[in-house]
Amino acid sequence: MTAAAAPGPGKGELVYQQLRADIEAGTLPPGAPLGELALVARTGASRTPVREALRRLAADGLVELAPRQGARVSRVSLRSVRDLYDLRALLEPEAMRQAARAPGSPLHAQLPRVRAELVRLQRRSPSAARSAAFYALADRFDQAVADACPNAHLQRVLADLRPHSARLRNLSHLDPARIETSLVEHLRMVDALAAGDAEEAAAACAAHLAQGLATIVATLRQDTGGVLDDLDLPLGAR
């Protein structure tokens, strides 16, 4: 069973996940108004679960909530992108270290399969399907690394940051060539984790983040014609 209609998760949870997915995917672009009435019509739920979902998303920083004025998808600026990557550069290498030192975790059991899948993707020719498969794999990997952290607070913060990163990736249509380098970077991380080399894993993660930031900034600059410098960008063009 994938997910039953009503009995399993509550309706508020469903609305939350749907809205979050739409925001991450860019279907709901930054700045998009989120009227409760409109969301009731969109999701079929009542105002109560809709409100609950909006509050949770606001706590995640994915929507901005103006009192008596409604909700909007939170806007993105070049500065916020840099801020996000600065913070990830602080946290994720540390998460890698901790994960590398937790050999009994489910992460380590998955590593051989992840590695095999990465190699398989390396041999495929570039295509949208390959990109999608890689990103799905990378997301699962990041999640597994975070879950392997014994530090629950760190896990919570990383989980908070993940949707922001996902949104950035989907807002800016990245250069397909980026996949190649990112594959290599992930292989380096996987191998370091498998070897239990915490510092190498952390270094690989830091390098991966630096590359990712450079790519996204370049892409955003190109998409917006270099107009932005600290401006809010209305949406990922397309």
Partner DNA sequence: GTGTGCAAAGATGTATACAGGATGCACCGC
Partner DNA sequence: GCGGTGCATCCTGTATACATCTTTGCACAC
For a second copy, which residue of 44, 86, 106, 210 counts as binding (CB under 8 A)?
A: 86
Give CA separation, 47 vs 44, 52, 54, 177, in Å: 9, 9, 10, 44
Q: How far is the CB of 9 from DNA (least distance, A)?
A: 8
> Do the beta carbons of residue 169 and residue 128 sit within 8 Å?
no
Tell whether residue 27 is a contact of DNA (CB under 7 A). no
For DNA, which residue of 1, 2, 5, 7 counts as binding (CB under 7 A)?
A: 7
- Cβ density class 78-107: b for 16+ within 10 Å, e for less: bebbeebbeebbebbbbbbbbbbebeebeb
Tell whether residue 153 is a contact of a second copy (CB under 8 A). yes
36 binds, among a second copy, DNA, none (CB under 5 to 8 A by kind): DNA
Q: Tell me the three-class secondary structure of 122-143, residue by residue.
A: HHCCCCHHHHHHHHHHHHHHHH
How far apart are the C-alpha atoms of 113 and 194, rounded to whole Å? 12
- Cβ density class 139-174: b for 16+ within 10 Å, e for less: eebbebbbbbbeeeebbeebeebbbbbbbbbbbbeb
Q: How far is the CB of 147 from DNA (least distance, A)?
A: 24
45 binds, among a second copy, DNA, none (CB under 5 to 8 A by kind): DNA
Tell whether residue 5 is a contact of DNA (CB under 7 A). no
Tell whether residue 146 is a contact of a second copy (CB under 8 A). no
Q: How far is the CB of 200 from DNA (least distance, A)?
A: 44
Please give the residue ranges that form the binding site for DNA (CB under 7 A): 7, 10-12, 34-38, 45-49, 51-52, 65, 67-71
Residues forming the site for a second copy (CB under 8 A): 10, 48, 51-52, 55-56, 59-61, 67, 79-80, 83-84, 86-87, 90-91, 94, 150-154, 156-157, 160-161, 164
